[in-house]
Amino acid sequence: MPAMLDDPTAPAIYRISGDAPYPMPYGPLPPEIAVRQVTLRDRVTIATLIPFSSPNEVPTKLTAYLCELLNREIDKGDTYPMMEPMPLSSFGPYWFANFGAIMIMGEVQSVEEVTQMEERGVEWARECLGSFYVKPNYPGRSSHVCNGGFLVSDAARNRGVGRLMGECYLDWAPKLGYTYSVFNLVYETNVASLRIWDALGFKRIGRVKGCGNLKSFPDQFVDAIIFGRELGGEGDEYVSEERFDKIRFYLKTGTYPNGSDRAEKSRLRSAATHYRLLPNSNPDDGEEDKLMLKGKEVISDPHKQYEIARQMHALSHGGINKTTASIAEKYHWVRIKETVSAAIRNCEECKDPAPKPSSSTKDRRATKAGAADSTAAAKSSASPTTSHPQVVLAAADDDDPEPQHQQRRQRQAPMAPMQYQLPQYDMPVDPQIMQQQWQVPNADDDAASDPMAIDPAPTRAAAVTQRDVDARLREELAAAVGGSKR
């Protein structure tokens, strides 16, 4: 993840903004940055992160091995934007001029011991697990914003090395005077890096459309994600993958992980009262025993966290809150919501701007359409002598929903006129008179007799209002009743 406008052949840029003191080129490191022991994902293997402030401190063969690692990544053409391999003479100043750290297998106490290891002829391809640098992302007045680059050796894949270096980066960068970190170029096809930075609290602050012409995708341009994160400050605590793995190891073996100090041992004893291990019912599948907290499975692996979030979201393509709530019923990890947010952003179906109705919406639309058709059929059969314009409420196309204004017009379609019943009288009424009064010409008959005629039904309906019909009926009924009395 090179710094902004980074040129490997240009002179190094140093921090000259933010809080003093400012670093001196190839000068000493702050006293709070020292050799750091870590435990790999298996909770047994010990490794050491050694900080360097000058390329001159790094043994020659170790520098050459790291340069080879970088050139291997450049040649793969999927993670770094460079296209030409970097010369060994340029690699040292590029990687270590500001600050660099190297992870080496075993317990190493100092920089001097690294030099002694090279003098003994150690094979760095077996002992070196990875490296990262910290440098300003911008020059001058914005040089207190930093950037980092990371390398993991092939032998160290899937052992938690990248995650451990990321945690160390977050610890050491603010001690070097940086207040914010930006990763300018994380190709969205680099899934492992995306998951690590999401899990470590970085925010996706931008996307560069089609900026990667990668070797693995020769026929398309790949987007890149820009990550950002504040550094240091009060309450900037995160529960790392390492902590859960230590708890798991302590519950399973009854012993403390290698390198645990007194405070760490106290925390593990306290955690043992809240967590428990659920033995794996099928040891042959290679899965670990489940770590449980209050009936929920603890997921420490960021890769598995992301996969759970992706699968849960895919069930109904719900929003962030709904998916987070579904996950929290069964699983526990830190910042579930951020993992869900990343999974939703990467969901191809949810990227489609055209909204697709859910299955329940489709059912409701189909039910309404069926009810409308049934009502229209019932009305037409109940009044065979009256013809009205047919109103059809069709369900919207699932793939191309109708605009809302069209749906409103359909809902406001005119209803068929009410069907009137004859009033009931105690005395008989002449049926011939009533038949004459209620006789309504049939528009179908008119159309049948004259094929060129226009349907007159709507014209009659507009000319004769309902009030006139009621008044005329009352008068004629009154006259008919009066005549029968006489």
Contact 149, 2 (CB under 8 A): yes
Contact 147, 181 (CB under 8 A): yes
CA nearest to 196, candidates 351, 41, 7, 32: 41
pLDDT at 360: 53
The angle, 0 to 180 degrees and rounded to 10, between the axes of the packed helices 60-76 and 88-96 is 100
Domain that holds residue 406: 357-365+387-414
Looking at residue 283, the DSSP 8-state letter turns out to be: G
Note whether residue 81 is domain-resident. Answer: yes
Q: Are residues 142 and 214 in the same domain?
A: yes
| Whole-number Å distance between alpha carbons of 33 and 260 | 19
Q: What is the pLDDT of residue 2?
A: 66
Q: How far does Cα 374 stand from its chain's mean position?
A: 44
Whether residues 202 and 269 fall in one domain? no
With contact defined as beta carbons under 8 Å apart, do 8 and 86 qualify? yes
User: Is 435 within 8 Å of 391 (Cβ atoms)?
Assistant: no
Phi and psi dihedrals of 223, rounded to 5?
-70, 155
Rounded Cα distance between 90 and 92, Å, is 6
CA dist list (Å): 466 to 134, 160, 377, 389, 419: 85, 82, 23, 18, 11
> Tokens 């030099």, residue?
115
The whole-angstrom separation of Cα 313 and Cα 346 is 11
Q: Same structural domain for residues 133 and 223?
A: yes
Q: How many CB atoms lie within 10 A of CB 387?
A: 22
d(CA 135, CA 99): 7
**Residue with structure tokens 């970085």?**
202
The answer to whether residues 307 and 231 belong to one domain is no
The amino acid that residue 452 corresponds to is: M
H or E stretch at 293 = strand 290-293
Q: Are 132 and 100 in contact (CB under 8 A)?
A: yes
Residues 76 and 221 occupy one common structural domain:
yes
Q: Domain check: are 189 and 229 in the same one?
A: yes
Residue 15 maps to a domain: no
Whether 8 is covered by a domain: the verdict is no
- Write the CATH number for 309: 1.10.340.70
Q: Output the domain CATH number for residue 46.
A: 3.40.630.30
Return the structure tokens found at 442: 């049939």
- The residue written with tokens 């008068």 in the block is 475
What one-letter code names the amino acid at 126?
R
Q: Locate the DSSP E strands across 18-94.
A: 36-39, 46-52
Q: In this structure, is residue 163 part of a structural domain?
A: yes
pLDDT of residue 414: 45
Question: Are 37 and 107 in contact, with CB atoms under 8 Å apart?
Answer: yes
Please provide residue 449's backbone torsions phi and psi, each rounded to the nearest 5 degrees. Answer: -75, -25
pLDDT at 86: 95
Whether 445 is covered by a domain: the verdict is no
Residues 182 and 311 in one domain: no
- Of the candidates 351, 376, 398, which is a domain's last residue? 351
Is 92 within the bounds of a domain? yes
How many domains does the structure of the chain reveal?
Answer: 4
Q: Are 430 and 484 in contact (CB under 8 A)?
A: yes
Q: Are residues 119 and 229 in the same domain?
A: yes
Residues 123 and 264 in one domain: no
| 154 and 42 within one domain | yes
Residues 78/187, Cβ–Cβ less than 8 Å: yes
- Assess if residue 378 is contained within a domain: no
Contact 181, 135 (CB under 8 A): no
Q: Cα separation of 277 and 272, whole Å? A: 10
Residue 311, domain member (yes or no): yes
Please give the Cα distance from 370 to 260 (Å, whole number): 70
CA atoms within 13 A on the CB side of 334: 15
Question: How many Cα atoms sit within 13 Å of 275 on the Cβ side?
Answer: 25
221 near 18, Cβ under 8 Å?
no
Tell me the pLDDT tens digit for each residue of 276-291: 888 877 766 667 788 9
- With contact defined as beta carbons under 8 Å apart, do 200 and 186 qualify? no
What is the mean pLDDT, run by run of 10 residues, along the chain of 486 residues?
Answer: 70 94 94 92 89 96 97 95 94 96 96 96 96 96 96 89 93 96 95 88 92 93 95 57 80 83 83 86 73 89 85 92 94 86 86 56 56 52 40 34 40 44 42 43 42 45 57 73 56
Q: Look at residue 155 and give its three-state secondary structure.
A: helix
Given this model, what pLDDT does residue 270 score?
86
What was the pLDDT predicted at 392? 32
Is the previous residue joined to 21 through a cis bond, with omega within 30 degrees of 0?
yes
Indicate if 51 and 140 belong to the same structural domain. yes
Nearest CA among 188, 254, 275 for reference residue 225? 188
* 324 and 210 within one domain: no
